[in-house]
Structure 1
Amino acid sequence: MTTMNLGASWIIVPFGFVVLLAAIVAVTVTRATRGGTPPSRMPPPAGPQELDARVRHLAANGQAIHAIKLLRQHTGMGLKEAKDAVDGLAHGRPIRHPALQPHPTPRPVAPPTGHSADLASRVRALKCDGRTEQAVFLVRGETGMDHDEATAFVGSVREHPGTETAP
């Protein structure tokens, strides 16, 4: 009976070794066939277009989880929102998120048509006519200041040029 147990253990040990070796090979092959570098090891995208291209590439190559991680890492999206966005790519829907939109180039602001005078001159003219509140609205509309800031600006404009004070 002792020889029987010894014989069975000699069969089990090599069999266990073969199973372990097969598992290691399977994991290695799976990782190799998925290919690519995980998003966490890649340099950050240079801009919105590159981020969009990377997400699309990962999703197209069956790496949806990496695409979702990349989106979440660089956009702040929630898990469901990022998953829905990646799933939507397969249906031809674009990813709509501010982080993926190109940054607009600032355009120079042209003075409004018909107003050749600078803002201070127009405010001065309104104040001279007794229309201070309209001057405040003018400043708010052209500068984006809040009411208190615009009131302070209008108050700093003197009726005679060259006597303005800092707001």
Structure 2
Amino acid sequence: MANIGPTELLIFVAVIAVSAAFLIGVARRSTSGPAASAPRPRLDPAELHHQVTGLIAAGKTVQAVKLVREQTGLGLADAKRYTDDLAAGRPPHRAFHPGATAPGPIAAPQPAADLATRVRHLKAAGRTEQAVFLVRGETGMDEADAQRFVDSLDGSGPAPS
């Protein structure tokens, strides 16, 4: 083994000290990050619905799913379904989760409406693509037929027969 002189020993100790300082800094950052911040206060169902709908309209679907998970305790798949239901204009459903007594619709601020009314609401909000998706999902129409149905609906009145 080669002899280590005082210069090499000093370099070796300096490398160890810098490495230790780096690891301590990383450990401090990971414990003082967002996880250490105060939890969000719980929202009532109408406010949650409003905030999630706003995030969806802004194209922030991931943040909407995250908010649903934080506020309801739902798993990822159920929170995604809740968000997808809202995006498609359907009343959201919940699955069994801690605190839920039975599966079924979650209270929404507005009662569920017929397909034509929901399509009109989506069109009025400038969400024609979601309206077509809703029609296709609930009727089984192909895209062209669903688009014609959506285009045929005006802002008010009954659906065409």
Q: For the superposition of Structure 1 and Structure 2, which TM-score range results when normalised by the shorter chain?
A: 0.3 to 0.5
Choose 1 or 2 for highest CA Rg.
1
TM-score (norm 1): 0.36
TM-score (norm 2): 0.37
